[in-house]
Amino acid sequence: MHTTINQLDYYIHALLSHLSKNESAILKLVPYDINIQEFRIIYFIGQHGEKKMNDIANALQLSISNVSIIVDKLVTKRLVKRINSTQDRRVIYITMAPVGEKIYRLMKKKHSELYQKLLNSLSLKEQKTLLELFDKMFNQK
């Protein structure tokens, strides 16, 4: 059991390292000066669409004040927009601006390339098994 935990720890850190290097490489390709937290907010909104500030904070495990500061910068850079709720004027949604959408598509493409590289060493059956195992581990009830 101890060996299994050590192996899992090793591979999770290796995967996180790959992802971090990939994100750093993507940031260099983006024609805008954005940092890793801005990158992650853009990616989150790109994946999930229009979201409230507290939804972003909860998902990315950041404080609402920190997300607010980051979103202010992204609005200034015209990468995201604030949209007032039509039902409740106290609620503000964050959505992607056209340039932010372009950046998200580039990020998504580069992430897909990395994942494809990682999956290429596995057969289709192994890929299916891997996804089933991830599903089992992360969707526990």
**2 pLDDT more than 80:** no
Structure tokens at 109: 């493409």
State the pTM of this model: 0.80
Query: Which residue from 134, 37, 130, 54 is spatially nearest to 94, judged by alpha carbons?
Result: 54
In tens, the pLDDT along 26-65 reads 788 777 788 989 999 999 999 999 999 999 999 999 999 9
Using alpha carbons only, what angle is made at residue 112 by residues 122 and 66, rounded to the nearest 5 degrees?
A: 125
Task: Place 127 in a pLDDT band, splitting at 50, 70 and 90.
Answer: very high
CATH number at residue 62: 1.10.10.10
Q: Where are the beta strands (DSSP E) in the chain?
A: 51-52, 80-84, 92-96
* Domain extent at residue 20: 2-138
Contact 99, 34 (CB under 8 A): no
Q: How many domains does the chain have?
A: 1
Polymer length in residues for the chain? 141
Please report the pLDDT score of residue 126 as a whole number: 95
